[in-house]
Chain A
Amino acid sequence: MIWVDTIVQGVLLGGLYALFAAGLSLVFGIMRLVNLAHGDFIVMAAYLILLLVTLLGLSPFVAAALAAPIMYLTGWLLQKHLLNRTLGTDILPPLLVTFGLSIALQNALLEGFSADSQRLPTGAISTASLDLGVINVGVLPLMTFGSAIVVIVGLNQLFYRTELGRAFRATSDDPTTASLMGIRPGDIFAKATAIAMLVVTLAALYLGMRSNFDPSIGPARLIYAFQAVIIGGLGSLWGTLAGGVIIGLAQTIGAAINPEWQILAGHVAFLVVLLVRPRGLFPRAVD
């Protein structure tokens, strides 16, 4: 029975990692940009939610809803005025700039909020659980996983059912020809990063409710997110969910065998997938 529990916990943890990764996957899928500050933006959003909770006395959910438009705007401005300038045939400038951004964000958060670890107040929900007969499942992990599914379904609908989604895909294929359709690639990229920041806000909400956070934990979240994206196959959103679940499963199974193995097991699973399927589980047909 303990194994059933371990597996269910692992899958649900994968939901959190998928949320970390979905924004990264979206941005990479559209503009081939790896945002090395992605994890730090999750932490920044968590502090923003905490600030709203503390200052206005809101519940974390309401605070996240307020933080979302702020993060959306942040993403839009960031892409439009900074990251768009780094895009081109050379892949190095966006890596350098987002790496610098990551350091700057960590230090700004350290300056503003100190190195103390924080947590979002959750009330009863953090300990609530559902009795499924054989096992008990926490409500918060379930909500996290459910949110990940909703985000992936939503992004897929956006991608494949809307005009903006068509413009995303066309710009990703060929920005010059897209501009001949009247599409402004820079604006499309700005919208994509802005939408990714909405997902970042949701990821931050669950991160902050489920665990402690401090200004230095961003890069580790980036690594989990990055591994989930790579395992899933670059640019595939359902693949990203699968990738998150694989990392989550590996970590919980590793921890069940020996608590010291939790993080290591996730990395080992990542390396194994890279060895067996170098392009990930669901690679895009055209790359």
Chain B
Amino acid sequence: MSFLTTRGLTAHYGDFQALFGVDIMLNEGETIAIIGANGAGKTTLMRSLSGVLRNSPEMITLDGRKIGAMSADEIVPLGLAMVPEGRRLFPSLSVEENLLIGAYGRKIEGYWNLEKIYRLFPILAERRSSPGTALSGGQQQMVAIGRALMSNPRVLLCDEISLGLAPVVIRDIYAAVPRIQESGASLIVVEQDIGQAMKVADRVYCMMEGRVTLEGTPQSLSRDDIHAAYFGVGA
């Protein structure tokens, strides 16, 4: 059954409306990808889900509970964690401290702990005392993912985790995704890199101008469908 759902989700930045009635749903243990061009509303959707943007209560439900109006710090304990766009590590904290603070709002025994994160990304163990922001972009992304996993989330939101990274680094990062899926977490992956998104996702939503324009499994969607939904033009 549906686990995380948005129904008629709208979002505004002042007078500017960024989302126009977005309906998506995520089943337990499932990975969905949200693809779309710049300005399609993908990040706004993630900010709404994580509570950075507040909405009406009934617009977002997690396990039947209305969470649309909750703030981020209220949502984290319910088991939803986000890897924000641009990684956003804390410059004053070391790599290990960045990871530890990920568990601040939700300390539960679960699959993920410091040791497991270091096993997932061994390079982080070597750099554990460095300031988070002294790392390369790819390593910073690993810290950001590890930090979100430290709360043992039931839903992990990944916003543009390939953005600004070299292809070989993106491959390394995405190599970790199956292990995160095995740990039982459900994932929402926002991507501009359609190829990567299709590889890990069970289902795909394509967004354009604040609306969902296409939905389906990666196998069922043709290149032309995606092209049309992505750019809003017939192929």
A-side residues, CB < 8 A to B, are 163, 166-167, 169-170, 172-174, 176-184, 286
- Give the contact stretch, choosing among B6-14, B70-78, B190-198: B70-78
Question: Is the beta-carbon distance between A170 and B93 smaller than 8 angstroms?
Answer: yes
How far, in whole Å, are A182 and B52 apart by their CA atoms in the complex? 11
Contact B92 A286 (CB under 8 A): yes
> Which one of B84, B93, B100 lies within 8 Å of A180 (CB-CB)?
B84
- The answer to whether A173 and B93 have CB atoms under 8 Å apart is yes
* List of B residues within 8 angstroms of A183 by Cβ: 73, 101, 104-105
The answer to whether A184 touches B73, judged by C-beta atoms less than 8 angstroms apart, is: yes
The prevalent SS among residues of B at the interface is loop
Nearest CB in chain B: distance from A224 CB, A = 28
B140 on interface, CB distance cutoff 8 Å: no
Determine if A170 and B101 form an interchain contact, defined as CB atoms under 8 angstroms apart.
Answer: yes
B101 touches A180 (CB 8 A): no
Shortest Cβ gap from B77 to chain A (Å):
6
Q: Which residues of B contact A (CB under 8 A)?
A: 50-52, 71-73, 76-77, 81-82, 84, 88, 90-93, 97, 100-102, 104-106, 147, 151
A166 to B91: give the CA distance in the assembly, Å: 11
Q: Which residue of A lies closest to B131 (CB)?
A: A285
- 23 A-B pairs whose Cβ atoms sit less than 8 Å apart in the complex: A163-B100, A166-B97, A166-B101, A167-B101, A169-B90, A169-B92, A173-B90, A174-B88, A174-B90, A177-B84, A179-B73, A180-B50, A180-B82, A180-B84, A181-B76, A181-B102, A181-B105, A182-B73, A182-B105, A183-B101, A184-B73, A286-B91, A286-B92
Chain B residues with CB under 8 Å of A184's CB are 71, 73
Q: How far is the CB of B204 from chain A (nearest CB, A)?
A: 25
**Residues of A contacting B147 with CB < 8 Å?**
181
With a CB–CB cut-off of 8 A, which chain B residues contact A286? 91-92
Nearest CB to that of A164 among chain B residues?
A: B104
Chain A residues, Cβ within 8 Å of B151: 181-182
Whether A180 and B90, one on each chain, are in contact in the complex, defined by CB atoms closer than 8 angstroms, is no
A182 near B76: Cβ-Cβ < 8 Å: yes
For the complex formed, measure the closest distance between the CB of B193 and the CB atoms of chain A, giving whole angstroms: 23
Collect the chain B residues with CB atoms within 8 Å of residue A169's CB. Answer: 90, 92-93, 97
Q: How far is the CB of A170 from chain B (nearest CB, A)?
A: 4
Q: Hey, which chain B residues are within 8 Å of A179, CB to CB?
A: 51-52, 71-73
Contact between chains at B104 and A182 (CB < 8 Å): yes
With A181-B102, A181-B104 in contact, do A166 and B52 touch (Cβ < 8 Å)? no
